[in-house]
Amino acid sequence: MSAMDTKTKGAISLKGSAQLVQEFFHYGLNNILYQRGLYPADSFSRVKQYGLTLLVTNDNKLKAFLEPLFQQVEKFLAAKKLKRLVMVISEIKTKEVVERWQFDIQTEDINEEGENSTRQKDEKKIRQEMGDVIRQITASVTFLPLLEVPCSFDVLIYTGKDTQMPQDWAESSACLIENAEQVQLRSFSTSVHSVQAQVQYKLES
């Protein structure tokens, strides 16, 4: 079902916005994993989304990690708890963090007017903005240093205080990069959630 129905064209609810943003993270993170070569290119399938051809993993182990993560992200978004999502790329051998893809999330206080209140924004426009961010992620490979040694990734979730976390999730450090280069990417807004993207990376020594 679409986050917007035809009776209320352009009306975005908190729940609908959470679905849209979760969908962006699904495509965005898959795209980073493909672009940065963390998994073999032949373990991705092409899909059309946001007017773009994007790559989505068909690696069962990776899907088993990502799918519950995105479900939880959607719940946090709908509960107005998610403040930031970070994908961290580290060298497997040294554990050194070499890239940090950060997405800061702001949530409008939509429920002041009641549980079913909505904001106005055309879903087509929202998807266009999301596509612009993903285009930038793809283009960033032109300036990011090559990952010449085997790397792994992790996802960090920042929530509001007193948020109940899934039992199998562990506390983590912020995984910051010392003296990192930082590039601000585009942002998008559903009119309920705003997401600002940036990438930090370690300069080649």
CB atoms closer than 10 angstroms to residue 198: 16
Q: Determine whether 59 is exposed, middle or buried from the number of CB atoms within 10 Å of its CB (0-12, 13-18, 19+).
A: middle
Q: What is residue 20's three-state secondary structure?
A: helix
Structural domain that includes position 196: 6-160+171-201
Residue type at position 68: P
Please give the full DSSP string across 27-85, using - where no structure is assigned.
HHHHHHHHHTTSS-GGGEEEEEETTEEEEEE--HHHHHHHHHHHHHHHHHHHTT-EEEE
Q: Would 165 be classed as within a structural domain?
A: no
Q: Would 188 be classed as within a structural domain?
A: yes
Q: Would 180 be classed as within a structural domain?
A: yes
Q: Would 166 be classed as within a structural domain?
A: no
Separation CA 177–CA 109 (nearest Å)? 33
CA atoms within 13 A on the CB side of 187: 12
Joined together, the tokens standing for residue 192 give 């309920």
Q: Would 101 be classed as within a structural domain?
A: yes
CATH number of the domain enclosing 186: 3.30.900.10
Q: What tens-digit pLDDT sequence spans the chain (205 residues)?
A: 444 443 446 778 889 999 999 999 999 999 999 999 999 999 999 999 999 999 999 999 999 999 999 999 999 999 899 999 999 999 999 999 999 999 999 988 765 544 566 778 888 999 999 999 999 999 998 899 999 999 999 999 888 766 665 555 556 667 888 889 999 999 999 989 999 999 999 887 6
| Inter-residue contact 191 to 108 (CB < 8 Å) | yes
CA atoms within 13 A on the CB side of 191: 18
User: What is the count of structural domains for the chain?
Assistant: 1
Please give the full DSSP string across 106-131, using - where no structure is assigned.
EE--GGGG-TT-EEE--HHHHHHHHH
Separation CA 140–CA 183 (nearest Å)? 9
Q: Would 73 be classed as within a structural domain?
A: yes
Q: Would 129 be classed as within a structural domain?
A: yes
| Overall pTM > 0.85 | yes
Please give the pLDDT value at position 5.
43
* CA torsion through residues 57, 79, 49, 31, sign: negative
